[in-house]
Structure 1
Amino acid sequence: MVQNISLILLDEGENWNGESRVIAHWTELNVAESQESIPQRVEERALRIKAEYLAWVHDLGEISIKGETLGASLKVLNNLSYWWMIAPVLKSPFESDSLYTVFKLRTLEQLYFEKNCCGLIYQGNNLALHRTLQDWCGKLGHPYRRFCSKKKIVSREKGVRKWLRKLPYWVQALAFLIKSWYLRFRHISPTRSGAAKQLCEEGGVTIVTYFPNIDMEKTRRGEYWSQYWRSLHPVLDQLPFKINWVWFYFESSGFKFEEAVSLRDTCNQTNPKKNQYFFIEEFLTPSAFLKALMLYLKIYRKGLRLKDVQSAFSFPGSSMNFFPIMEREWKASLYGNIAMEGALRIVMFDCMAKILPATPWGLFTWENLSWEFGLISAWRRHQKNTKIFACQIGFFRDFDLRLYSDPRVFQKTGNEAMLLPDKLCVYDNEGIPVVRSTGFPGEKTAKVEALRYFDLKGGYSIYKKQLPASGRTLLVIMGITDRENQLQFQLLREAAVMGGVANYSQILIKPHPALSPGGLKPVYELNFKFSIKNQSLSELWPVIDVVFGANSTGATWEASWFGIPVIALGAVNSLNLNPLAGLPGVNFVTNSSDLVEQLKNPFPVIVDDHFFTLDEDLKLWKDLLQG
């Protein structure tokens, strides 16, 4: 009889043969009409839960820790609280599943009370989920049971990384340090005192930018050309001061750090009096390394004082504590590899800001990530007259929560305030209203031309055409995460078996520029012929007929601009991060049957033809940088 008033929660691939009034699926999108899909319900309620989560993050920072707020208690430098660099506060949907899991838990809780349930049975092997549900039912005084599945959870982490996850967090931090030395620091020499003095005397501005994502051919000739800044390079060359470029290297499939060092040396031979290039790692001297270790220990000690904070991981009025879901990244942020990485970056940017001038301004690529707070705080400490400009480099997506905060965050002052640039440079026409709607100060926003998207100018619907019945060319655009790419190519393999690619004579694969070193593995498991293409998308658009894009890529929006039919991977066990979300006609696929249908009959999605500011004279950028 208990089952008739219980909610049955089935994890991936599970079935329930008993009786129950409410059966809910934790991961499945397509379920029987009489049953509930938690992912479907999340999609319907996501905007409300987003507001709740942002408010919860703010309130968590206000908890009192020995007479001061949590945010204040994590102050590590005179103008920097480490609070802003902790994973649950950064709210990245790319780093782990935890954020989406919290959304699902909130949805499950609402469903439970909506259906007047008085007990819960969970069938699955997710231990963190089990702990959360067991604790919640205990607080409610409701019965709870768990049936373990015979299926084992397959970890996405392999090899050494999987093994390290089982070790103490300080060991993980040490392992990160060793890995960083082996892959990066041993290939580069720290800046010497004599060179540092000369750099200070030479003056100039500083631009911190991701690397590579470059025009490789130009850069190998010594002409650095970033895909992030593109047509701004000639404008910068005309400015009456030196440009100091600091490259923030990210691991890329097939592109090693030592190769990047060689490119830096080549570029520095071209015109070092005008453009000089550095890696942020060059500023980690032996003494700075010791400072980073001490800072890590400081963060570690502060983290030990926060054990009572775990009880606050619940929404107002809710007795469901979701700390077990976020435990790993919370502890990694305070004791593990994330803490060590944060300490190193804070110190490297501190040393950089002491050495490299940023007069009259400093500029960086903005995604509201942890390293950006280290950079802004360093410039505020050591370059007090510097105007700090941050440039948007991606779409404002509703559920990329990194870009959003509770409005109360922007009302704080002093050392507890979020570190903000003097100007956030926004290049799409919807961006500034979106940013200001969060409470971000309007006077700190600036409209600029969309440097990354000038290839779109004059090309609206230019490649719209009648699709051939056969002999088509399909472009598969990969995402940034291994998880997403594994799903994308699994569906593509299954679709091929079902005849979905029969009308296509060529299948081209475009990897993401920040693909992990092993990110191409699912590509090589394909059961048909394909070609991997590393040239720019602007070279590929004219020769393709259809695009199949990862959920997280903005390139599906670009293809739609050109009039190319688009199929977008749906958000499976994640928030929908595609910029096409909400537009009529978009084809999100989550299973191979849907993919087969869309491959046979694709059609374009209509996007706003005035979305970007694309004036080639770059007047807005010139006024900002010369003002």
Structure 2
Amino acid sequence: MKDNVLYIWDAEGAPQQPIGRLVLWRSYGEDSCPEAISIPQWIEENADSLRARYLAWVYELGQVKVQGRRLVDFLDIRPGFSYWWMAPIAEKCNFSKSPHITDAVRLMALGDWAAGTSFSEIVLVSENRSLSKCLASWASHKGCKFRWKKIPPKRTQHSLSKNIFKWLPNPVQGILSLTRYLFQRWPLKGAGLSEWLGAKGEMTFISYLFNLDPVGLAEGRYKSSYWAHLPDKLSEDGQAVNWLHLYVIDKNLPSARFAGAAIRSFNGKSENGQVHATLDSFLGLGVVLHVILDWLRLCLKWPGVRGLLSSTPLGECDVSPLFEQEWRASFLGTTAVLSTLYHNMIEAAINSLPVRQRCGVYLQENQGWESSLLQIWGVTGNASLIGVPHSTVRYWDLRYFFDPRSYSRKLTNELPMPYRVACNGDAAIGAYKRGGYPVHELVKVEALRYLYLAEAKPRSVQTHGFMTSGLRVLVMGDYLHSNTHLQMRLLEKAFPLLPIGTRIIVKPHPNCPINPEDYPELSMELVEGSLGELLAECDVAYSSATTSAAVDAYCMLKPVVSVLDPYGLNLSPLRGCAGAFFASTPDELASKLVSATKLPVHSSIRNEFFSLDPQLPRWKTLLCN
């Protein structure tokens, strides 16, 4: 009878006494359970089918009829623009905003594995209440009993105010979030506005006020790693450019007051008509009033869409419990308020440009605000808008992929798309093509963030010995704290297994500092500086599960070991690349950090990943045309 029980283990470590068929929900395998089914491993082996089916589900959800209209039409908040494209469920940010997408994909994988198999009982060991509801529904569909063995949740250190906020009604959360945003960003109101209103440039760049060069910032010059020396080239050619920045808090600009001072400094020292403003520069009572009106429109639409997810299963499973909170907040709470705020600020910024724009360029990550930009740009009569994926396009970063039917654009309120997608090399173009993107709308340009690789001296292809000086491991931190913490905890456990004399050199992400006191068993050196210079001095690089810095090391012919995150999908940019190493246990990590340095190094693949001509001929051609 035990063999007829499905035992799903959604907890750390291995089960002590599993009964029946054991399924590991968030583990790539346990030595103590060699016959267990690993759902993460099953996903990797059936990735193309699972990804395509999830994207198809999102597309078909947008086509569901609500009060006689397609959902995508029902949610229009402006003529020709639907709020659907700003909603998190359509954005599909599975690694950050919507991590529950991982469980949705795992439920599909479980259904595939169990197809045609009957069980007397399904047992779930987990702290995840939403997952238990989904599996209870699936068990009912399969005609078997369901039992949830709830385990104590992990303790998370949230402040009292955050805990109180979480339990407030969604509309109250929305009001508080809007108030907080206005309080924090109001000092940017009007920064660069007079220059913007007098701008003569016919080209606009929309970018993040982040990743700024500290030296340039101190001198009052705009220099960002997103754009390398492209702004200087445009200025030298006499191109007047308007820069619309989305401010992101970091150590260089820790508050809106500092950001406002930077904008004023940029404008004071700009040449050849370069103009700088931020999205928050357009804050005002009129914008706030429009936000409230748009939010009320969404609240009125809520009764029509409230039960939509539960009536649209993903395969055999009702996944609505996974998305319930997100879906509600998309209409009633914080997500709705901040999305409409971005929409109205973008509308104010683009509408106030005094000159019709012949070209626009924006950093493309397929976030919700980009859909607003694409719609507003066209409605105001401006010409070509070009999207620029500034880093790598990762297989499981679902933001970059859509069901192929989305690209037909034969009806109203269809997927907003740029005139062209400027890809930074063959790897990005290949990823878009394999995802079904229209080939004629892809164009190759130089990889601005990676131009330093053209001059960087790669590691010798000879086997590198480290025994005389000790193994040097460069740790490249992640943007997200959760990913960085997982990476550092795994390394801390693996550290005693590494050779004596191993040096752990840690470069945190600018937006995610690392405190050595959080990892007392790990001897480390915190460093800053150029990633290229640090890579040149290390033997092996160790990356988080998602960071694109892994590609920097890979292109410099350094062996790279990346975390295989059991909590999420494989978001590594090196997924599928020859010579890339992955580890999910301390033993595996220690072994691969050592063995990776002893294996023959893969041949140079820089040009396969990126276009690296520092003269930027492709960029010049694109922008001139």
> Which TM class, normalised by the smaller chain length?
over 0.9
Per the alignment, residue 294 of structure 1 pairs with 293
If the length of structure 2 is used for normalisation, what is the TM-score? 0.92
Higher alpha-carbon deviation: 329-338 or 432-441: 432-441
Instruction: Say if 1:10 and 1:240 are closer, same or farther in 2 by CA, change over 3 A.
Output: same
Per the alignment, residue 28 of structure 2 pairs with 29
TM-fit CA distance, 1:531:
3.3
Q: Secondary structure at the match of 1:184?
A: helix
- Give the distance between the partners of 1:156 and 1:359, measured in 2 at CA: 48
Per the alignment, residue 213 of structure 1 pairs with 211
Residues 403-418 of structure 1: matches in 2 within 5 Å?
403-418=400-415
Per the alignment, residue 428 of structure 1 pairs with 425
The answer on 1:577 being equivalent to 2:571 is yes
Name the Cα RMSD after superposition: 2.4
- Give the distance between the partners of 1:162 and 1:255, measured in 2 at CA: 28
The answer as to whether partners of 2:407 and 2:438 remain within 8 angstroms in 1 is: yes
Unaligned runs of 5+ in 2: none
Instruction: Say if 1:190 and 1:302 are closer, same or farther in 2 by CA, change over 3 A.
Output: farther
Instruction: Say if 1:225 and 1:597 are closer, same or farther in 2 by CA, change over 3 A.
Output: same
The answer as to whether partners of 1:480 and 1:514 remain within 8 angstroms in 2 is: yes
- Give the distance between the partners of 1:262 and 1:194, measured in 2 at CA: 15
Per the alignment, residue 443 of structure 1 pairs with 440
Instruction: Say if 1:522 and 1:299 are closer, same or farther in 2 by CA, change over 3 A.
Output: farther
Per the alignment, residue 5 of structure 1 pairs with 4
Give a deviation string over 1:188-236, Cα, whole Å, max 9, x none.
233799766534xx34321111121021101221221110110212221
The answer on 1:355 being equivalent to 2:349 is no
Matched residue type, 1:547:
A
Q: 2:551 aligns with which of 537, 547, 557?
A: 557
Q: 2:526 aligns with which of 517, 529, 532?
A: 532
Per the alignment, residue 93 of structure 2 pairs with 92
Matched residue type, 1:33:
P
- Give the distance between the partners of 1:84 and 1:156, measured in 2 at CA: 33
Per the alignment, residue 133 of structure 2 pairs with 131
TM-fit CA distance, 1:63:
0.4
TM-fit CA distance, 1:127:
0.7
The answer as to whether partners of 1:486 and 1:522 remain within 8 angstroms in 2 is: no
Q: Secondary structure at the match of 1:397?
A: coil
- Give the distance between the partners of 2:557 and 2:194, measured in 1 at CA: 56
- Give the distance between the partners of 2:266 and 2:378, measured in 1 at CA: 29
TM-fit CA distance, 1:564:
1.7
Matched residue type, 2:294:
L
Per the alignment, residue 375 of structure 2 pairs with 377
Higher alpha-carbon deviation: 127-136 or 251-260: 251-260
Unaligned runs of 5+ in 1: none
The answer as to whether partners of 2:239 and 2:272 remain within 8 angstroms in 1 is: no
The answer as to whether partners of 2:459 and 2:536 remain within 8 angstroms in 1 is: no
Q: Secondary structure at the match of 1:213?
A: coil
- Percent identity of equivalent pairs: 24
Instruction: Say if 1:324 and 1:177 are closer, same or farther in 2 by CA, change over 3 A.
Output: same
The answer as to whether partners of 2:192 and 2:264 remain within 8 angstroms in 1 is: no
Instruction: Say if 1:177 and 1:607 are closer, same or farther in 2 by CA, change over 3 A.
Output: farther
- Give the distance between the partners of 2:394 and 2:100, measured in 1 at CA: 18
- Give the distance between the partners of 1:597 and 1:192, measured in 2 at CA: 54
- Give the distance between the partners of 2:486 and 2:205, measured in 1 at CA: 36
Residues 245-324 of structure 1: matches in 2 within 5 Å?
245-252=243-250, 255-257=253-255, 258-271=257-270, 274-315=273-314, 318-324=315-321
- Give the distance between the partners of 1:521 and 1:87, measured in 2 at CA: 32
The answer as to whether partners of 1:220 and 1:266 remain within 8 angstroms in 2 is: no
The answer on 1:541 being equivalent to 2:535 is yes
The answer as to whether partners of 1:22 and 1:115 remain within 8 angstroms in 2 is: no
Per the alignment, residue 492 of structure 1 pairs with 491
Instruction: Say if 1:437 and 1:156 are closer, same or farther in 2 by CA, change over 3 A.
Output: farther
The answer as to whether partners of 2:214 and 2:252 remain within 8 angstroms in 1 is: no
TM-fit CA distance, 1:131:
1.1
Per the alignment, residue 145 of structure 2 pairs with 143
Per the alignment, residue 189 of structure 1 pairs with 189
Instruction: Say if 1:141 and 1:212 are closer, same or farther in 2 by CA, change over 3 A.
Output: same
Instruction: Say if 1:606 and 1:6 are closer, same or farther in 2 by CA, change over 3 A.
Output: farther
The answer as to whether partners of 2:123 and 2:149 remain within 8 angstroms in 1 is: yes
What is the total number of aligned residue pairs between the two structures? 614
- Give the distance between the partners of 2:579 and 2:195, measured in 1 at CA: 57
TM-fit CA distance, 1:403:
0.4
TM-fit CA distance, 1:70:
0.5
The answer as to whether partners of 1:476 and 1:547 remain within 8 angstroms in 2 is: yes
Per the alignment, residue 106 of structure 1 pairs with 108
Per the alignment, residue 473 of structure 2 pairs with 474
- Give the distance between the partners of 1:337 and 1:523, measured in 2 at CA: 34
Matched residue type, 2:290:
K
Matched residue type, 2:105:
F
TM-fit CA distance, 1:179:
2.2
- Give the distance between the partners of 1:607 and 1:312, measured in 2 at CA: 51
Give a deviation string over 1:345-403, Cα, whole Å, max 9, x none.
00000000011245221111011111111111121122x13211111112121111110
